[in-house]
Amino acid sequence: MINIIVMGHGGYAQGIKNNLSMLLGEPKNMYFLDLMREDSLADLEHKMNTLISELGESDILFACDLLGASPFRLAAIYSATNPNKAITVTGLNTMAFLELGMSMDLNLFDLADRVIETTKASVSKFPDPTHA
């Protein structure tokens, strides 16, 4: 089983949870951790490590809000030290999170590739004068 941990700043993760709950119902195998203004990085790291311990040996896909920021760095360090069971992606949009909420039939690395491609494919503009 793949568990998804969404991590971000100032309510980002809770916002993704609320968004998915409205569109899909309560997301399964998805967990949401926020770094709030009053939290230290050690607080977030403790929350992350506690959750990972509770999840056991399952694979983990971390979905973080910003490349290089504190939640991303914590997830990336964990992924680098556990390369066969964890991967970190960043910058996903709602379409990709919806796919994470529905698609659990892929392996960890294929799922990461798929949601990155979904994000890229779903960015658009309207109207598009180049296709008029």
**Which residues form the domain of 76?**
2-131
The overall average pLDDT reported for the chain is 94
78, 87, 76: which is closest to 112 by C-alpha? 87
Between residues 104 and 59, the one the model is more confident about: 59
Say what the pLDDT of residue 103 is. Answer: 65
Residue type, 93: N
Residue 132 pLDDT class (50, 70, 90 cuts): low
- Rounded Cα distance between 88 and 76, Å, is 6
Residue 17 has pLDDT above 90, yes or no: yes
- The domain that holds 120 is classified in CATH as 3.40.50.510
Domains: count for the chain: 1
Pair 16, 6: CB distance under 8 Å:
yes
Say what the pLDDT of residue 50 is. Answer: 98
Give 49-63 pLDDT, tens digit per residue: 999 999 999 999 999
